[in-house]
DNA sequence: GCCAATTGGTTCGCGCACGAACCAGTAAGG
DNA sequence: CCTTACTGGTTCGTGCGCGAACCAATTGGC
């Protein structure tokens, strides 16, 4: 097994397996709830935030604006979210989850992340720590392509990335902006 | 500063960082040689194989047929490879690298994989082994979603590197028009 | 008040990635 | 032979994913 493969090759192959696993899971989701991974993820985060601008949402799910716009288009088309312009700052677009959106969420299977998390919980503490250290180191080595060399990290300097779990918690960072509070001064937006 | 992030979250974030690093590298490649990661990888593997059918090539780079077809379209358009039908079995399409393709390869920077490899070499043996074990385990955990089949990677050369997109900006897609090369067991194929 | 920056989102163009459907061709059976 | 099955590639449709360009508001200067 894998005799011709160098150790380095095997690592790269493993990364590919991970990427592919994410993709496979996304396709399974489509069959089960008609939503892709990114869509479900976005819906979930939107539900946690309750009310959020597109920008804040993009940050929370770690996607670029244009990408999120496309995903939101699909979610709107399925009637899972509302997309409304704020009256306060009319550039801002506020996202909320519809009734149907919450229903969908209730019956939706877990994200790959969550399943993965469960598996992680089956491991010993030291194993998890080791996995984390290893993959972070890997990430650092790959990022070091152009910029300075591998930062010395022990697993502390991390990005914010509140990639949502299921723990109902409000994103702490939301780009301090007026959107957050529950101010409902929004109007329907008539997208064609 | 590691605020509310659980260990599991951090792992997921690290995976994102890796995927993103691959993407970033692909974009750098576009600026340097006008080829994306997948394109360069495909060209490289094609050069190593010398002569290969689309199917064999797809297997070697771990991409689906349709995906590879698109990449080959772009490589043909740039005159880096030839695409001809075999006379023996006229269903089969044989891929070869053109002179220009070899020149491009000669001046091309390394794949992410190779830079990554150099960094790996800077590590101690036990560290590399640990990294491999960790990421393989991670991959296995993620794959274990639905089907329980063991990975099984066929023992060939499994080069690989990048994944998603960037933007080279060329003309819109056209049907590949084969650029002539020597005949062997193959004939020119006239698409369109 | 008015025009220049800035900010928030969307649109546009391109590439990757894949499954399903679709054509060849080729091989198998009669 | 002729029909059926299968195989190799491409085409089609969908969904990411992003940067650049683009509006539309808002803010900053003066």
- Residues of B (151-170) placing their beta carbon closer than 7 angstroms to any atom of strand C are 162-170
Contact B13, A161 (CB under 8 A): yes
Residue A98: the pLDDT is 97
- Report the distance separating Cα A10 and Cα A149, nearest Å: 23
CB B39 within 8 A of CB B74: yes
| Contact between A40 and A166 (Cβ < 8 Å) | no
Residue B75 has pLDDT above 80, yes or no: yes
B175, two tokens: 């049907």
Minimum mean pLDDT range among A105-114, A168-177, B120-129: A168-177
Report pLDDT for B112: 67
Q: Who wins on pLDDT, A151 or A101?
A: A101
The single-letter DSSP state of residue A149 is: S
Q: What's the CATH class of domain B8-108+157-167?
A: mainly alpha
Among B85-94, B103-112, B148-157, the range scoring the smallest mean pLDDT is: B148-157
Question: DSSP string of chain B?
Answer: ---S--HHHHHHHHHHHHHHHHHHHHHHHHHHHS--HHHHHHHHHHHHHSSEEHHHHHHHHT--HHHHHHHHHHHHHTTSEEEEEESSSTT-EEEEE-HHHHHHHHHPPPPHHHHHHHHHHTS-HHHHHHHHHHHHHHHHHHHTTS--------SS-------S------PPP----PPP---SSEE-----
Q: What pLDDT, on the 0 to 100 scale, is given for residue A113?
A: 66
CB of residue B147 closer than 7 A to nucleic acid strand C?
no
Tell me which of B155 and B57 has the higher pLDDT. B57
- Stretch B13-22: mean pLDDT, rounded? 82
Does residue A140 surpass a pLDDT of 70?
A: yes
Reply yes or no on whether the pLDDT at A1 is more than 70. no
Distance CA B159, CA A13 (A): 8
pLDDT tens digits, A15-40: 888 888 888 888 888 988 999 999 99
The set of strand C positions with any atom below 7 Å of a protein CB reads 7-20, 24-27
Architecture of domain A7-188: Orthogonal Bundle (1.10)
Which of A153, A175, A150 lies closest to A162 in space, CA to CA? A175
Q: Note whether A9 contacts B158, CB cutoff 8 Å.
A: yes
Question: Quick check: A17 CB within 7 A of strand C?
Answer: no
Report residue B180's pLDDT band, with 50, 70 and 90 as the boundaries. very low
Q: Is the CB of B190 under 7 A from strand C?
A: no
Give the nearest chain A residue to B113 (CA atoms).
Answer: A12
**pLDDT given at position B87:** 92
Q: Are B139 and A18 in contact (CB < 8 Å)?
A: yes
What digits encode the pLDDT tens for the residues A45-97?
999 999 999 999 999 999 999 999 999 999 999 999 999 999 999 999 999 99
Residue B182 tokens, joined? 């020597």
Q: Which nucleotide is nearest to A69 (CA to C1')?
A: C10
The pLDDT tens digits for A142-163 are: 876 544 333 333 333 333 333 3
Residue B82 phi/psi, 5° resolution?
Answer: -105, 150
């Amino acid at each position: 097994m894998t005799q011709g493969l160098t150790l380095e090759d095997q690592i790269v192959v493993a990364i590919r397996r991970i990427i592919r696993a994410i993709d496979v899971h996304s396709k399974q989701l489509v069959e089960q709830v008609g939503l892709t991974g990114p869509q479900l993820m976005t819906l979930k985060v939107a539900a946690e935030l309750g009310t959020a601008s597109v920008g804040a949402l993009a940050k929370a799910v770690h996607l670029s604006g244009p990408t999120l716009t496309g995903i939101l288009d699909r979610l709107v088309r399925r009637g899972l979210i509302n997309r409304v312009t704020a009256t306060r700052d009319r550039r801002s677009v506020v996202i909320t989850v519809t009734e149907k959106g919450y229903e969908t969420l209730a019956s939706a299977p877990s994200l790959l992340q969550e399943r993965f998390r469960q598996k992680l919980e089956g491991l010993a503490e030291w194993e998890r720590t080791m996995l984390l250290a290893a993959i972070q180191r890997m990430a650092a080595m790959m990022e070091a392509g152009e910029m300075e060399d591998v930062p010395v990290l022990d697993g502390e300097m991390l990005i914010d990335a509140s990639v949502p779990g299921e723990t109902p918690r409000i994103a702490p960072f939301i780009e301090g902006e007026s959107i957050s509070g529950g101010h409902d001064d929004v109007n329907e937006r008539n997208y064609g």
